[in-house]
Amino acid sequence: MSFDMSEMDYAVTEETLQNNSFPTDAFAMLQRIRRLGKMCDVTLKVDDTQYSAHRIVLAASIPYFNSMFTSDMVEAHKNEILIQGIEEHALEALINYAYTGSITVDSRTVQSIMVGANFLQLDVVKDFCCDFLKKQLHPNNCLGIRQFGEMLMCMPLVEKANSYLHQHFVEVSKSEEFLLHTKESVINILSRNELHVKSEEQVFYAAAAWVKHDFENRSSFMQDLLQQVRLPLLRPEFLSDVVQTDQAVKCCLKCRDLVDKAKDYHLIPDRRSEFPPNIVRPRYCSEILDMIFAVGGLTSAGEALNTVEKYTPIVGRWELVASMRTCRSRVGVAVLAGQLYAVGGYDGTNRLNTVEIYLPDTDEWCDIKPMQEKRSALGCVAHDDQLFVCGGYDGIASLSSCEVYRPHTQAWDKVANMNKSRSAAAVAVFESSVYVLGGHDGLSIFNSIEFYDQKQDKWCLSVPMLSKRCRHGVASLQGRMFVFGGYDGQKFLNSVEVFDRVTNQWCFLAPMSLRRSRVGVAVSGGKIYALGGYDGCSNLNSVEMYDPETNSWKQSDRMWAHDGGVGVGAVPFSG
């Protein structure tokens, strides 16, 4: 029976059925047919194991077989094809993937399946295995995974393994993989600028451990390894007591020469410019991004704040965290062992000696033992597992006194007074010493600098800045000390200067876009952030980011809970 609809006036004249489950259902049926051994027209053979399949399915799903079956290759007409270079279980899993679009990997199978996917040009599966391996990186396997990635020319995996190696070098250097690596590979690793180390001593210990692991066969390589260690950055006592007494070094005349030359770096500062820049610049792992915390400060009405916000550079966003227990302006802030310390300050009525610490993992503040003296506008920095507090203002006068907090004893101890009373000075760790820069004594603003000699418990003068500054910021990065903004007694500053340990001189750099007194400074990912401050007219919530590689500034994300001067600390990002 038929009927004519051509003369009718229909609102809908055409419709299309789209069965979204059709491909899935069809391939599922093909898989069932294959398992029954029906209609299969090709057999893939690995060693003594055979797998039957359909050419059309393999050609549609796997690029390698598409090229084979749609060309004039000899295998295009064979019923049995020998597959080499792929393990049995991996080939079976990849054939199943051709029919189902699904594959499962684990720590036991991922390598063989990734090798098979690479051979069969299954990039989707290869990338899936790559992503799985990235999540398995560990100090005990990252070198092996990197080598595996190089073998398969999987650069995303190599780059991720290298990044992990840089960030976890100390742990990796203690692994069996590292100790079993070739001389060429170890030299390559030790030469890298991106290694994350607290000091160059850790690089020397890694080199010495590798040699000691097979001393008889490796001791002659010590010279090559020692050339990758930035010996001038080692403390003189470490050079004498550790490096010079190492058995492999003692047996090598050229090694001893390298140590003697490194000693000259400390004994004859005038010759420092003769050393190649690459061996006198501290290593810096720019892949480690710290979270930047803005702590306390003042409201636009001049009232002290207890507000705290953090900025995560990888996300590019500010967010509030738990507030301090006490309102604090002109507060000292430092980071020690992953914990943020807020020290002293001014609550709007009194100068404070109280101290609280922030625990990022639990988002809470807790009080610790107070300082011996009340201080606002103080300098605060962490060094050598201790917290140093320098100068400040006690409500009556600027201070020259300094205190040190040692977490393991939970006690504050006095150390030698600075040569000058300094309030609103900047404090940093540079060349393994605590440096105090500029500031004022209530009458004069300084460009002078002094550093603390911990062994002799005394303060020594260093090369003065080019400008007088108080309420400025400071940061040390890769063997240089940077100073930002401040106030010189007549004008608010946007100027920036840097001290280079090699030339032993200060020079000006590109200025900030705004004048910033009471500026907060933090380092994250190889960049330096200048936060907030006061430009002579207004409190600022803007943030600028400085790139030392290009000597240039660009705007970063504004703080949204703070205006003006804040205490600043950078806490390592824990994921």
For the chain, 575 residues long, the average pLDDT of each consecutive 10-residue run is 64 78 84 88 91 92 93 84 93 94 95 97 97 97 97 96 96 97 96 93 97 96 97 94 96 95 90 86 88 92 92 92 96 95 96 96 95 98 96 98 96 98 97 96 97 96 98 95 97 97 92 97 95 94 96 96 90 72
Contacts 24+ apart (CB under 8 A), 360-364: 360/291, 360/321, 360/571, 360/574, 361/574, 363/321, 363/322, 364/322
Give yes or no for a contact between 275 and 502, defined as CB atoms under 8 angstroms apart.
yes
Contacts 24+ apart (CB under 8 A), 212-217: 212/248, 213/179, 213/180, 215/247, 215/248
pLDDT at position 48 is 87
For the chain, give every domain's residue range.
Answer: 22-136, 166-279, 290-572
Calculate the CA 25 to chain-centre distance: 48
Looking up tokens 């010493």 gives 433
* CATH fold for domain 22-136: Potassium Channel Kv1.1; Chain A (3.30.710)
pLDDT at position 26 is 82
Give yes or no for a contact between 543 and 531, defined as CB atoms under 8 angstroms apart.
yes
pLDDT at position 98 is 92
Residue 434 corresponds to which tokens in the numbers above? Answer: 């605590």
Rounded CA separation 94/99 (Å)? 9
Rounded CA separation 83/64 (Å)? 11
pLDDT at position 9 is 67
Give yes or no for a contact between 564 and 298, defined as CB atoms under 8 angstroms apart.
yes
pLDDT at position 19 is 83
* CATH fold for domain 166-279: 1.25.40
Rounded CA separation 253/251 (Å)? 7
pLDDT at position 11 is 64
pLDDT at position 117 is 97
- Label residue 36 left, alpha or beta by phi (over 0 means left) and psi (-120 to 50 means alpha): alpha
Rounded CA separation 72/47 (Å)? 25
Give the Cβ contact number of residue 223 at 10 Å.
Answer: 17
pTM of the predicted structure, to 2 decimals: 0.79
Closest CA to 220 of 194, 193, 255: 255
In CATH terms, the superfamily for domain 290-572 is: Kelch-type beta propeller (2.120.10.80)
pLDDT at position 3 is 65
